[in-house]
Amino acid sequence: VVLLGALPVTANAKLDRDRLPAPDFGAAAVGREPEGEREDAVCAAMAEVLSLPRVGADDDFFALGGDSIVTVRLAGLLRAGGWDAAPKDVF
């Protein structure tokens, strides 16, 4: 969540998306270290698909920038590593 005093607007009083601050998804990744092979695999895969340096075992996939499309990539990466995973498992 990024707090703003006011939303930036264009001359036509529409939201100026180009002037919005960029979210810092990496700042939210502060959870505990993964324990065990399964948590290691899931955290590593989450970090890869979200382009983050690390993801903790308790970090929220969606709060870090994940969405329904990225869940497909996450499940595919886990399956490629030999894990039984489907996008619905993320929800």
Q: pLDDT per residue over 31-79, tens digit each?
A: 788 999 999 999 999 999 999 988 999 998 998 899 999 999 999 999 9
Check residue 23 and give its pLDDT. 72
Check residue 88 and give its pLDDT. 93
Structure tokens at 8: 């930036």
Check residue 91 and give its pLDDT. 84
Check residue 31 and give its pLDDT. 72
Q: How far apart are CA 70 and CA 61, in angstroms?
A: 10
Query: Cα-flanking dihedrals φ and ψ of residue 51, to 5°?
Result: 55, 45
Give 66's DSSP letter.
-
One-letter amino acid of 3: L
Indicate the pTM of the whole model.
Answer: 0.67
Q: pLDDT per residue over 4-15, tens digit each?
A: 889 999 999 999
- CATH superfamily entry for domain 17-90: ACP-like (1.10.1200.10)
Contact between 64 and 28 under an 8 Å Cβ cutoff? The reply is yes
Place of tokens 């929800």: 91
- Which residues is 15 bridged to in the sheet? 9
Domain map (residue ranges) of the chain = 17-90
Sign of the C-alpha dihedral, residues 75, 79, 83, 86? positive
